[in-house]
Amino acid sequence: MYLRKTQRRNGDGSVVRYLQLANNRRLNGTTQAEVLVNLGREDKLDVAALRRLVASINRYLGDEDDVTLPLGTETGPLTVEQARPFGAIWLLDQLWHTLEVDKALAKVLGPRRFRTDIERIIFALVANRAVAPSSKLAAAEWITHTVAIPGLDHADKDQAMRAMDLLAGADAQSEVQQAVFFAAANLLNLEVDLILFDSTSTYFERDGEPEPDTDDEPGLRRFGHSKDHRRDLPQIVIGLAVTREGIPVRCWVWPGNTNDMTVLEQVKDDLRDWRLGRVVTVVDSGFSSRENMAYLQRAGGHYICGVKMRDGSAESREAMSRQGRYLQVRDNLRVKEVKLAADQGRRWIICHNPIEAERDQARRQVQLQAITAELDRIAAARTAHAAKAKAKAAQQGKKKTPRPSDAPHRKAECALRDHPSLGRWLKQHPTTGRLSIDAAKVKAEANYDGKYLIATSDPDLSPEDIALGYKNLLQAEAAFRTMKTTLDLRPVYHRLDERIVAHVLLCWLALLLIRVAERRTGQTWPSINRELGRVHQVTLSGPAGRLQQTTKLTPSQAQLYKDCAVALPPKMSGLQPAE
């Protein structure tokens, strides 16, 4: 390792020399100079101190000293100050710049000046969600004491909260999401003709709803239908739009008591402002009201939506009664288009999954066996109870056996009838009040095994494309699973609405970065994070100065960076000669 000089001649004939930290590397039988760090102009550097520092580095690495030092110059040994995880952070930072999130934030922040680098704080919080999710206080300590963040040495809780407040501004969140979306679409060549939308809820670790300041601003934390099965806690509703490749393009936050049927108009309007052109929106059956579907068709848009088949609607009954042959799309998917006389404005597609049909049949059989066993147990207990009462009456010499009370057995039958999953297969006889399996209900449900119904307004898509487009809705569900597990979206501890929104936006940005990494590498983020988490940045110091050195990459680690099309971490950085 040695100091390397380069020079540039100005127009006036003067020469400017620059210093670089370089290392000789043998490649294909020839020795080539590899520049590790560009140090700057020679006339603005302490060259003697740099020479002493390079000599210390060579001594630490066990290499021969390539730098000629003045006689009697003492360099001293280098000591290790600290070693911090760096590999996964470096990958996220490179993707952050590639997707131009930093430029989007700079545009939003404008000419305002801050004592801290707000963009770096926001990136550090996003990286924390992806690498080691924690609270904002713990995240500040993680940034300061645990990991190496490029361009950021330390952070505290107040700086994190300030950055979140700026990110959650109405103009900021819209502009950032739009800028990031178009940068990602151009970079990844995303197909944005199909937008998948779904919603979920996440809860707070608080006892109740906050008291509203005014009737017009009730706040986000509200009780509602919890998709996390936590009706005892207040919550918010989160909407997410993703592409067919699973890349999240936008997110929304609504109060916890928001009905799914009421949000599609805002989703449609917000995406229309981006002027995406002809877009087909894919939604689940929870959004399939006629008003929503009509709104999605505005401005030339179209929709693909799921329709509930077991709700007894006229459309589902008519669709199931139509005859026709199924078209084999894949091993586990067959489709059939049917026409309904009652609705000429929409196309209807029945999808059949043979594998799922077998699962439905197996689950139903298990439930029926459990019901039969319970009914037999109740009947046996009733018979035993009656026999015991008859024997007791005979022992007492009574000529007429009193009718035994069957209150315990009635209670068991009522519990079985009201069971959330088993009660649907039972019927109660009007005269005796006894329970039995409803054979007609079982036969009717068997017709729906492995089937689901799709409606669309697009006149050009083939039934195969419609079915596959709807199956892509699984990408939105997978995104929510990742946000709730890998990124620890829930539970939320923030109180202010703007910080609640910022928390969701940080999770959305983290999801965007890890989805890009997964798409480029073909590996899951936990495996990428685990492998690159072994790459550390080591800080070395000595009498001549200090620097950061990155641990040597393994072939698998280098391949991950190569697959993501980002630069490898620098071998040496932060070179600081002693003053």
In a domain, 133, yes or no: no
pTM of the model: 0.76
CA dihedral 209, 211, 214, 218 (to 10 degrees): -10
361-400 burial, b at 16+ Cβ within 10 Å, e below that, comes to eeebeebeeebeebbeebeeebeeeeeeeeeeeeeeeeee
What is the chain's Cα-based Rg? 33
In a domain, 308, yes or no: no
Q: Say whether 248 sits in a helix, a strand or coil.
A: strand
CA pair distance 385, 58, nearest whole angstrom? 92
* Phi, psi (rounded to 5 degrees) for 7: -140, 155
In a domain, 29, yes or no: yes
In a domain, 372, yes or no: yes
One digit per residue, the tens of pLDDT, for the chain of length 579 reads 777 778 888 877 787 888 777 777 766 667 677 777 777 787 777 777 777 777 777 766 666 544 444 434 445 567 888 899 999 999 999 999 998 888 888 887 777 777 788 899 999 999 999 999 988 889 999 999 999 999 898 899 999 998 898 888 766 777 788 887 877 777 777 666 778 888 899 988 765 666 655 444 568 888 888 888 888 888 999 999 888 888 888 899 999 888 887 888 888 888 777 766 667 888 888 787 778 888 888 767 788 888 888 777 777 888 888 888 888 887 788 999 888 876 667 888 999 999 999 999 999 999 999 999 988 888 888 888 778 877 877 777 765 555 555 566 678 888 888 888 888 889 888 887 788 888 988 988 888 888 888 888 888 888 888 888 888 888 888 888 898 888 888 888 888 888 899 999 999 999 999 999 998 999 999 999 999 999 999 988 877 678 888 999 999 999 999 999 999 998 888 777 766
In a domain, 193, yes or no: no
Pairing of strands 333-340, 327-330: antiparallel
For residue 61, what are the domain limits? Answer: 1-77
Amino acid found at 367:
Q
In a domain, 71, yes or no: yes
What is the domain count for the chain? Answer: 2
Last residue of a domain, one of 53, 77, 101: 77
In a domain, 2, yes or no: yes
CB 202 within 8 A of CB 492: yes
CB 395 within 8 A of CB 389: no
SS (H, E, C) 107-159: HHHCCCCCCCCHHHHHHHHHHHHHHCCCCHHHHHHHHHHCCCECCECCCCHHH
Last residue of a domain, one of 77, 108, 124: 77
In a domain, 138, yes or no: no
Last residue of a domain, one of 29, 44, 77: 77
CA pair distance 330, 337, nearest whole angstrom? 16
CA pair distance 562, 554, nearest whole angstrom? 12
